[in-house]
Amino acid sequence: MVPFAGDAMARRFIPEWQEQWGVLLAWPHAETDWVANLESAQQCYRDVIAAITQFERVLLLCRDQATEVEVMQYLAAGSVDLKRVIFLVMPYDDTWARDFGFLSTQSDSGPVLLDFQFDAWGGKFGASADNEINQQLFRHTLLKHNQSETQAWVLEGGSVETDGIGTLLTTKKCLLNPNRNPDLTQAQIEQKLMQTLGVDRVLWLEHGELEGDDTDAHIDTLARFVDERTIVHMACSNPEDIHYTQLQAMAQELDSLRQVNGQPYQLVPIELPGVFDDAARRLGGSYVNFLIINGAIVAPIYGDNAADEAALAQLRKACPHRQVIPVNCRALIEQNGSLHCVTMQIPKEVVNCES
């Protein structure tokens, strides 16, 4: 892996819908936070991997070789095509690949992979092993030919969305939270985003946050680009719901945003589900926490049939040229995350073409 020495501005943050080689995941095991519902979590991961491998590959982290053998057998029993799964043994604290995984940019001299600091959403959990993962990945045969850049400030992949043509969408509640980069002002963070990711402008949302979410309002739980012109977002039409005021205000913010050409974005709202655990705790079920892959969207559902079907219909409306594949992610939101949170796409151009 070669350190990047070029002009930091001569790059582009690669959007999720650009052609992918595959997706990075880390397998849940008994020493992760999944221990209380491990069987359900592993079944969900298997379903996610089965959906992805219909279209592309998976790079799957396992904690040790014994786990790798067990996971191979488990996936094969679930009819997963193991020829499309590459296993990699390394230590990790937990499995939120979206937030510890590297971000991919394209420069004039080729891809530049960015390793930001990961502190488990402001030090809420231990993350020292997670924070070392990218440096190990950068030495792997798949990726070692790329240029890389290590950043000394905190940024999680779930906190930023791009339209692929120079616009970044994020939230003030996350990026300006003093538990991330307390010594940086909004202007300084915006400048760093522009320099590292190669974006021209940053659109900040002030409103929106889901109960049962540890991330301090990650944008990937609230509003997502699905192409250059379309934003899919969570909505709430029930005045009795605790989220009503915030999500109504967020919808107004989104409605006021403009594309670079001055036109409004096409907005596709999806109604927020009301999902609770056995102790009546509200779970952060977000339908916009989907994963875009080659030719498809892998979409989280939560066992609320009416709400699930309405959400899937809206995703088909937003992305009529993609297959929408539902995966029950109830197990994931019981740990305060969902489908997008446990995945990180790997663009085709960053992988050694012989691998």
Q: What is the pLDDT of residues 151-167, one digit of tens each?
A: 999 999 999 999 999 99
Confidence of residue 6 (pLDDT cuts 50, 70, 90): very low
Confidence (pLDDT) at 4:
45
Dihedrals phi, psi of 49, to nearest 5 degrees: -65, -40
Q: What is the pLDDT of residues 305-325, one digit of tens each?
A: 999 999 999 999 999 999 999
Q: What is the pLDDT of residues 136-153, one digit of tens each?
A: 999 999 999 999 999 999
Confidence (pLDDT) at 5:
46
pLDDT above 90: residue 352: no
**Kind of pairing, strands 167-171 and 110-117?**
unpaired
Of the candidates 304, 322, 305, 142, the one whose C-alpha atom is nearest the C-alpha of residue 227 is: 322
Fold exhibited by the domain 9-350 = L-arginine/glycine Amidinotransferase; Chain A (3.75.10)
Q: What is the pLDDT of residues 258-269, one digit of tens each?
A: 999 999 999 999
Per-position DSSP letters for 196-262, written without gaps between them: HH--SEEEEE-----TT-TTSS-GGGTEEESSSSEEEEEE---TTSTTHHHHHHHHHHHHH-B-TTS
What does the alpha-carbon distance between residue 33 and residue 282 come to, in Å, rounded to a whole number? 18
The reported pTM is 0.95
**Kind of pairing, strands 230-235 and 223-225?**
antiparallel
Q: What is the pLDDT of residues 13-29, one digit of tens each?
A: 999 999 999 999 999 99
pLDDT (average), residues 283-310: 96
What does the alpha-carbon distance between residue 209 and residue 192 come to, in Å, rounded to a whole number? 24
Q: What is the pLDDT of residues 61-92, one digit of tens each?
A: 999 999 999 999 999 999 999 999 999 999 99
Q: Where are the domains of the chain?
A: 9-350
